[in-house]
Amino acid sequence: MTATRVPEASPEGRSRRGLLAWLALGVAGAVLALASSGRTWATVALGGGAGVARAAPVPLTGGEIVPVLSPLALAALAAVVAVLATRGVWRGLVGAVLGLIGLALAGAVAGGVASSPRLISLAEERTTVTGADTAAVAHTWAWPAAAVAGGVLLLVAGVLAVARGARWPGMSERYDRPGRGSGGSAPASEGRAGRPAERSLWDALDRGVDPTEGDADGRDRRL
């Protein structure tokens, strides 16, 4: 029984699959951060002593706790598209920017949820209760963790774009003519094939034969 040999993928196919995997990684990171910005990250219950009314628990979303979360996520999506549209040094620069966005996003989330006094201050701005001297903060850690994970994914995507971006195809390559290089010149074989035909055309004209007309026996004279 003979084993079936699986054909190896071409370098172009591997680079295209690598680009698609990277694209999924970058988009997933940005979408995670963007989706978590509208979710509740913490609930603050304000209370006080005698004669002070207790306020209802105040839910705080990720966008309220970390105001830069949504702008950074949108900037990351724009950077992902820019990586697809650029080549060479520019692709590496955009990849570096994408990695910095991911790092800033993860750092902003970690700092925002860790600051309980700031969360209490945000909750007080949304209530009419005055004189509260106690507060309890209940965290919902799933969505902040998702946002941090999104930032880490963006950081990894940026590093990969810097390290391997030069091997990936660009968006404009689908419009290139087959057989043409990056300079747009025709292949050498095409030029060599065209010269004999051109010489035969001039030889026919020297003999007084019109190459556009048929021969006497009715056959077309084609060069």
Q: Which residue has the higher pLDDT, 132 or 153?
A: 153
Quick one: 196 and 119 in the same domain? no
179 in a domain, yes or no?
A: no
- 115 and 159, same domain (yes or no): yes
Tell me the per-residue pLDDT of 44-96, one tens digit each, with 9 for 90 and over: 888 765 555 566 788 999 999 999 999 999 999 999 999 999 888 899 999 99
DSSP helix, strand, coil percent of the chain (3-state; round to 5): 60, 10, 30
DSSP 139: E
Answer yes or no: is pLDDT of 32 > 90.
yes
> Residue 117 domain-assigned?
yes
140, 220: one domain: no
Segment among 159-168, 174-183, 198-207 with least mean pLDDT: 174-183
The most distant pair of C-alpha atoms in the chain lies apart, rounded to whole Å, by 119
Residues 105, 215, single domain; the answer is: no
* Number of other residues whose CB lies within 10 A of the CB of residue 160: 20
Note whether 98 and 195 are same-domain residues: no
Residue 22 near residue 161 (C-beta atoms within 8 A)? yes
**Domain assignment present for 1:** no
Could you tell me the two tokens for 163?
């390290």
Say whether both 124 and 198 belong to one domain.
Answer: no
Q: For strand 58-61 and strand 40-47, is the pairing parallel, antiparallel, or unpaired? A: antiparallel
Q: Kindly tell me if the per-residue pLDDT of 186 is higher than 70.
A: no
Residue 131 near residue 48 (C-beta atoms within 8 A): yes
Q: Which helix (H) or strand (E) is 61 found in, with range?
A: strand 58-61
Same domain, 70 and 23: yes
* 130 shares its domain with 195: no
pTM above threshold 0.75? no
Helix (H, G, I), strand (E, B) or coil at 41: strand
106 and 204 together in one domain: no
Number of domains within the chain: 2
**Position 184 in a domain:** no
What type of residue sits at position 173? E
Q: Which CB contacts under 8 angstroms, 24+ apart, belong to 194-200?
A: 197/223
DSSP 8-state class, residue 183: T
Position 54 scores a pLDDT of 63
pLDDT of residue 87: 87
185 in a structural domain: no
Confidence of residue 129 (pLDDT cuts 50, 70, 90): low
State whether 220 and 143 are in the same domain.
no
CATH number for the domain spanning 141: value is 1.20.140
Return the DSSP state at 75: H
Owning domain of residue 222: 191-223
Residues 154 and 216 reside in one and the same domain: no
Residue 195 has φ and ψ, to the nearest 5°, of: -65, -45
Instruction: Judge if 96 and 55 occupy the same domain.
Output: yes
Distance in angstroms (rounded) separating the CA atoms of residues 151 and 103:
6
Measured distance CA(210)–CA(170) in Å, rounded: 48
* 71 within a domain of the structure (yes/no): yes
For residue 180, being part of any structural domain is answered with no
4 falls within a domain: no
